[in-house]
Amino acid sequence: GQSVFAVEIVDDLVIAVERPTNIITALNLKDGSLAWKTLIGEPLESFFGPVGDEEYIYVSSSRRMFKLLRRNGQTDSVYNLPLPVTMTPLLVDNIAVFGSINGKVYGFDVEEGYRKWTYGLSGRINSTPLLDGEDVFVVDADGRYVMITAKSGDVQWRGSTFGDISADPVLNGREIYLASEDQSLYSFTANTGELRWPAYRSEVALSQTPAVRNDVIFLPEPSLGLTAIDADTGKAIWQTTDVVQPVASVDGKVIAFAEKTLKKIEPATGEVLQTVPTREIQLILNGPGNSLLLVTPGGEIMRVDPRR
C-alpha cells in the first residue's frame, strides 16, 4: 500500500521518500547497498523530495522541515515552516528556497531555522523552481515569473507569459526555456530575462516539460507528438508523432523513454536507432557517467549504465 514518491541523487547517495509511511531510505549510488533507513513525521504527514549538502539531508512536508544527519539518517533538528509549501526546496548554501500554496516564495535559513526573506507572486506555485548558480527562477500557475537571488531575496528580473504554467522551467547553460499553455515556448537569457528568439508557437497548449540535449530542445506537444527545436534559433528541426520523453544523452545520441521502452534517437533527424524494452517505469533520473536510475511503481530502483 505504499509507493516511492520521490527519488533524488545527493552526491554519492540515492535518497528515496516513500508515501504514506514516510520512510526515508539512503542507498549508496555506486552499488545500491543500503546506507541507512529512517522513519520521520506523523502518520498523515506527506513529505516531498529531499535535498542535501555535505553534512545533512533535508526533507520537508507541507509545514515542517526535518534535518537529518547525512552519515546515518538520525534527526538533528525539526523546523516549523512559516508558510505551507508545495514542493521540494532548492538549497543554496544554508538557504532553502520554497514555493508556497498562496504564491509566496521564501528563503529559509536551515542553520538557524528562520525565514530570511519573502517574495509574493499572484498564483499558486506548482512548477519546480530552477537553480542558476546562486539565483532561483520561479514561475507561478498564472504565468508570472521572477529571478531571485537565493541568499538575499533581491529580484534580478521578472515578467509573465500569456497563459497558465504547468510545466517545469529548464536551464541549458545560460538560457532558460519555459513552456506555457498560451501555446508558446519561451527562451530567456538567464542573467537579464531578455527573450533570445521569438517564442516558438505550437498548435496546442504546452503543458509538459521540455528537455534539452546537445543544444536541441525536445518539446512534447500533447496530442501531436515530439518536436525537436534548435536551441540557438528557436526553429523546428523535425517532428514526430511518437510520444516519447528524452531523458539522457549518450555518445551524442539521445535516450528517450516511452511506455515500457527506451529508444536511442539521432538528434539531428529524429531517426530511432535502437529500441530496448523495459518494465513499467515511474521515475527516471540522470546519474553519473551517463547512467540512468529507473524507479518502478513497485518501488524497485535500478541503475543502468551505457554499454562500453
Q: Tell me: pLDDT of 308 over 70.
A: no
Q: Tell me: pLDDT of 73 over 90.
A: yes
Q: Which three three-digit cell numbers place residue 225?
A: 507528438
Q: Tell me: pLDDT of 166 over 80.
A: yes
DSSP string, 61-84: BSSEEEEEETTT--EEEEEE-SS-
pLDDT in tens, 140-162: 999 999 999 999 999 999 999 99
Measured distance CA(194)–CA(175) in Å, rounded: 10
Q: How many CB atoms lie within 10 A of CB 279?
A: 11
Query: What is the DSSP pairing of strand 144-149 with strand 135-139?
Result: antiparallel
In the chain, the percentage of residues whose pLDDT exceeds 70 is 99
Q: Tell me: pLDDT of 307 over 80.
A: no
Measured distance CA(16)–CA(9) in Å, rounded: 9
Over residues 202-226, the mean pLDDT reads 90
Q: Which three three-digit cell numbers place residue 283?
A: 521515475
Average confidence score pLDDT of the chain: 91
- pLDDT band at residue 248 using 50, 70 and 90 as cut-offs: confident
Over residues 256-264, the mean pLDDT reads 85
Q: Tell me: pLDDT of 87 over 90.
A: no
Look at residue 1 in the predicted model and tell me its pLDDT. 58
Q: Tell me: pLDDT of 2 over 80.
A: no
Q: Tell me: pLDDT of 281 over 70.
A: yes
In the chain, the percentage of residues whose pLDDT exceeds 90 is 62
Over residues 175-179, the mean pLDDT reads 96
Check if the beta carbon of residue 205 is closer than 8 Å to that of residue 224.
no
Look at residue 144 in the predicted model and tell me its pLDDT. 95
pLDDT in tens, 40-65: 999 889 899 999 999 999 999 999 99
Using CB atoms within 10 A of its CB, is residue 219 exposed (0-12), middle (13-18) or buried (19+)? Answer: buried
Check if the beta carbon of residue 295 is closer than 8 Å to that of residue 3.
no
Using the Cα atoms of residue 231, residue 236, residue 237 and residue 241 in order, give the sign of their dihedral. Answer: positive
What does pTM read for this prediction? 0.88
Look at residue 15 in the predicted model and tell me its pLDDT. 96
From first CA to last CA, the distance across the chain in angstroms is 39
Look at residue 289 in the predicted model and tell me its pLDDT. 82
Q: Among 134-138, 236-240, 268-272, which stretch is predicted with the lowest mean pLDDT? A: 268-272
Measured distance CA(129)–CA(132) in Å, rounded: 10
Measured distance CA(303)–CA(291) in Å, rounded: 7
